[in-house]
């Protein structure tokens, strides 16, 4: 049961069209189910507004399908499966009870069940990517925010090596509700954007770069040491975390 469904159920109780006993039975359905290899959290959508997300790396296709089926059986309409390679996605899809709503996005390596809701946030989440090589992470962030109910604007290949490309989008930066800034190499893009934006900037270091980038550590340290106010940082390549956080910011007070 999602939060909107819970509110609708409580409204029916208030109107007298659903009895207290019936509502209690529906709300009291097991919040957890033990599959042996996993214990899906069936009530996370009520508590947090978003269903449990399945981390695909390290799980087998049958395990992924089993968790997804448990969530769908509990009424979840939208499910994200992160860090999912194409072969595993195809295998998991064949095992789902209902595979018709499943699709695979290869760039962010996301398995998606269901369609994004109509955007209902305060404004727009702006996703900036320094280079084309960062798109795997930027798209993970963008699709995550969209699936959670945010309107997303993408602006890609605007790294500091050609800063005029970024400055052409100053209006987008200044009117966003939240900004996700994805960059590898030295990670300087986050500080530049932070100096232009009036909203929170979520910096995402990527593992893109030559040897001394140390798999994204150089960008991570640069972003953590940003002199720009309002810049926060998630872990290396954590586009999902950035998209989730930006959506929360975009829905404050909703």
Q: Where are the domains of the chain?
A: 3-23+30-113, 124-250
**Per-residue tens of pLDDT for the chain, all 254 residues:** 566 667 787 888 888 888 887 776 666 565 777 788 888 888 777 777 788 899 999 999 999 999 999 998 888 889 999 999 999 999 999 999 998 889 999 999 999 999 999 999 899 999 999 999 999 999 999 999 999 999 999 999 999 999 999 999 999 999 999 999 999 999 999 999 999 999 999 999 999 999 999 999 999 999 999 999 999 999 999 999 999 999 999 998 76
| Rounded Cα distance, 60 and 50, in Å | 23
| Rounded Cα distance, 69 and 22, in Å | 25
Full-model pTM: 0.86
Check residue 58 and give left, alpha or beta (phi > 0: left; psi -120 to 50: alpha).
left
Q: What's the pLDDT tens digit per position in 36-54?
A: 888 888 877 777 778 889 9
Q: What's the pLDDT tens digit per position in 149-195?
A: 999 999 999 999 999 999 999 999 999 999 999 999 999 999 999 99
- The CB-side HSE value for 113 (13 A sphere, CA atoms) comes to 29
Span 124-250 CATH architecture:
3-Layer(aba) Sandwich (3.40)
């Amino acid at each position: 049961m999602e939060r909107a469904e819970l509110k609708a159920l409580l409204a029916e109780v208030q109107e007298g069209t659903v009895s207290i006993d019936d509502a209690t039975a529906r709300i009291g359905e097991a919040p957890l189910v033990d599959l042996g290899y996993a214990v899906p959290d069936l009530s996370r959508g009520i508590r947090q507004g978003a269903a449990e997300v399945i981390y695909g790396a390290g799980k087998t296709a049958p395990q992924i399908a089993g968790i997804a089926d448990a969530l769908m059986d509990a009424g979840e309409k939208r499910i994200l499966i992160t860090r999912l390679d194409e072969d595993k996605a195809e295998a998991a899809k064949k095992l789902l009870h209902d595979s018709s709503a499943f699709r695979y996005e290869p760039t962010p390596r996301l398995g998606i069940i269901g369609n994004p809701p109509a955007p209902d946030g305060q404004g727009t989440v702006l996703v900036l990517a320094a280079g084309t090589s960062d798109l795997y992470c930027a798209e993970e962030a963008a699709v995550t925010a969209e699936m959670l109910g945010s309107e997303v604007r993408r602006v890609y290949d605007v790294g500091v090596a050609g800063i005029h490309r970024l400055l052409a989008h100053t209006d987008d930066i200044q009117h966003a509700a939240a900004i996700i800034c994805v960059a590898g190499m030295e990670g300087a893009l986050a500080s530049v954007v932070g100096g232009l934006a009036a909203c929170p900037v979520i910096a995402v270091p990527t593992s893109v770069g030559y040897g001394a980038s140390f798999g994204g550590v150089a960008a991570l340290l640069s972003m953590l040491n940003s002199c720009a106010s309002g810049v926060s940082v998630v872990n290396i390549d954590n586009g999902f975390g950035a998209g989730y956080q930006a959506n929360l910011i975009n829905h404050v007070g909703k």
